[in-house]
Amino acid sequence: MFLWPPRFNSGLINFGTGVIVGLFFSYLFVNYIISTEVSNSDSPWRKAAKFVAFADNMKENKDLHGFEHNDEHHFGGENDPHNHADLEHAHGPIGDMTFHNADEEHHKGEGLISQVIAKKVKIFCWILTGKEFHEKRAKHVRDTWAKRCDKFVFMSSETDPRLPAVNLNISEGRDHLWGKTKAAFRYAYENHLSDFDWFLKADDDTYVIIENLRYMLLSHKADEPIHFGCKFKPYVQQVIATILVGYRPGKVRHFMPCHEAGEKLRIGSTDYWSCRFLVLDPLQSYMSGGAGYILSREALRRFIEVAMKDKQKCKIDDDGGAEDAEMGKCLEKVGVTAGDSRDGESRYRFLPFIPEHHVIPGHVDPNFWFWQYIYYPMEQI
């Protein structure tokens, strides 16, 4: 008599073998796709790889800001908060997309509260873009959040009625960003000042939940001189005073580093020099351009009617510089308050980065410039 080993369920064996073989070939296929796509400079995989390398370089770079704080050149290196090199070539899918809407059965009734608030808070949105991004970015902004504004328009270097886009007649490039911003707000002032309560500036890589924005603004009035955004607080270097610095022979009586030495003046036995000196001004704050910011009707009026007519208050003739910092200085000098946009639990409503930076714990390096720039404390995420 022979003893055979116990019989196994052949169906279970076949199933397990199939799973293992399937996983093996899936692994080979995915690796092939990734290796092929990463070699393609235009592929999302390649861009992701570049972004990871960019982030690693930032961690190794000990120069947090990458630029000097001064009025004439406020931006520069890749760690500069005004640099968006990692998103420079990012774009959405080509072609039209379809979306869910409030008319669908399972979405009915969801917007009742927002519809009531929309009647009380009127927002004009202008979105900065470029002609090369009309199809890649702007059309997707138009089809998603922009249509929830009371009116919107894209500011570009080429007219496009499909968006719609207005030609600002200003050269492309970040070197002209301040010029574009001035021209765009002037367009809003000349065409829509009395039609809306608030005027939003956003980029074509920004996403805004307009219903939440209206809710935040509900407690404020259009005639209040105020603007909101993600408030930054870097110190701005400014020449603010002229003093006399005195020296006795062989002995320093006063010492202060001079930015610009003037003429020598002898008083009694003491020699004096006039000296213009620099200080770091902690009072100046501004809203991050990347996060977008919004002006009340009165803030827009003061910007155009007062600041833009006074070279002492605003950089009128020069289109260079950091747009957001320049805007902050102009508004501060005409008495426009830099408002607190945080919610009731002190959480930021305006955020300058893509969602992963803000929702994944530990994603943002503790030494990243952002933590030195934010005006209000934020838990490092």
pLDDT (mean) for 123-134: 97
Q: Based on the domain organization, do 311 and 365 belong to the same domain?
A: yes
Q: Based on the domain organization, do 138 and 25 belong to the same domain?
A: no
How long, in residues, is the chain? 381
Q: pLDDT category, 65, cuts 50, 70, 90?
A: very low
Q: Encode pLDDT of 242-255 as tens digits.
A: 455 554 444 433 34
Reference 139, options 95, 102, 169; nearest CA is: 95
Which CA distances in Å does 106 have to 3, 101, 144, 147?
64, 10, 19, 21
Q: Are 213 and 123 in contact (CB under 8 A)?
A: yes
Inside any domain, residue 104: no
User: Which of the 8 DSSP states describes residue 160?
Assistant: B
Q: pLDDT category, 308, cuts 50, 70, 90?
A: very high
Q: pLDDT category, 70, cuts 50, 70, 90?
A: very low
The more confidently predicted of residues 104 and 134 is 134
Inside any domain, residue 36: yes
Q: Per-residue pLDDT for 341 more than 50?
A: yes
Inside any domain, residue 68: yes
pLDDT (mean) for 171-196: 95
Q: Per-residue pLDDT for 216 more than 70?
A: yes
pLDDT number for residue 366: 84
pLDDT (mean) for 265-290: 66
pLDDT number for residue 311: 95
Point out the domain boundary residue: 80, 104, 128.
80
Q: Based on the domain organization, do 275 and 179 belong to the same domain?
A: no
Q: Per-residue pLDDT for 22 more than 70?
A: yes
pLDDT (mean) for 261-270: 62
The more confidently predicted of residues 70 and 172 is 172
Residues 266, 270, 274, 275, Cα dihedral to 10°: 160
Q: Per-residue pLDDT for 280 more than 80?
A: no
pLDDT number for residue 173: 85
Q: Are 293 and 269 in contact (CB under 8 A)?
A: no
Look at 207-221, 235-249, 262-276 and tell me which has the smallest mean pLDDT. Answer: 235-249
pLDDT number for residue 141: 97
Point out the domain boundary residue: 281, 311, 345.
281
Q: Based on the domain organization, do 212 and 243 belong to the same domain?
A: no
Q: Per-residue pLDDT for 320 more than 50?
A: yes
pLDDT (mean) for 283-303: 93
Query: pTM of the predicted model, to two decimals?
Result: 0.66
Q: CATH number for the domain including 175? A: 3.90.550.50
Q: Based on the domain organization, do 297 and 276 belong to the same domain?
A: no
Q: Where are the alpha helices (DSSP H) in 239-322?
A: 297-305
Q: pLDDT category, 167, cuts 50, 70, 90?
A: very high
Q: Based on the domain organization, do 306 and 277 belong to the same domain?
A: no
Reference 200, options 349, 80, 334; nearest CA is: 349
Q: Are 45 and 37 in contact (CB under 8 A)?
A: yes
Q: Based on the domain organization, do 229 and 244 belong to the same domain?
A: no
Q: Based on the domain organization, do 215 and 76 belong to the same domain?
A: no
Q: pLDDT category, 63, cuts 50, 70, 90?
A: very low
Q: Are 169 and 156 in contact (CB under 8 A)?
A: no
Inside any domain, residue 175: yes
Q: Based on the domain organization, do 200 and 317 belong to the same domain?
A: yes
Inside any domain, residue 249: yes
pLDDT number for residue 192: 98
Inside any domain, residue 205: yes
Q: Based on the domain organization, do 335 and 265 belong to the same domain?
A: no
Q: Can you give the residue range of the structural domain that contains 48?
A: 18-80
pLDDT number for residue 237: 47
- 72-76, Cβ contacts within 8 angstroms, sequence gap of 24 or more: 72/321, 73/321, 74/321, 74/322, 74/325, 74/326, 75/174, 75/321, 75/322
Point out the domain boundary residue: 59, 80, 101.
80
Q: How many domains does the chain have?
A: 3
Q: Based on the domain organization, do 180 and 258 belong to the same domain?
A: no
Q: Which amino acid is at 222?
A: A
pLDDT number for residue 176: 92
Dig out the tokens for 287 from the structure. Answer: 């809203």
pLDDT number for residue 85: 54
Give percent above pLDDT 70 in the chain: 62
Inside any domain, residue 211: yes
Inside any domain, residue 12: no
Q: Per-residue pLDDT for 326 more than 50?
A: yes
Please give the full DSSP string across 354-380, using - where no structure is assigned. Answer: -HHHHHSTT-S-TTSHHHHHBSS----
Q: Based on the domain organization, do 61 and 197 belong to the same domain?
A: no
Q: What average pLDDT does the chain have? A: 77
The more confidently predicted of residues 317 and 17 is 317
Alpha-carbon span 202 to 288, nearest angstrom: 10
pLDDT number for residue 240: 44
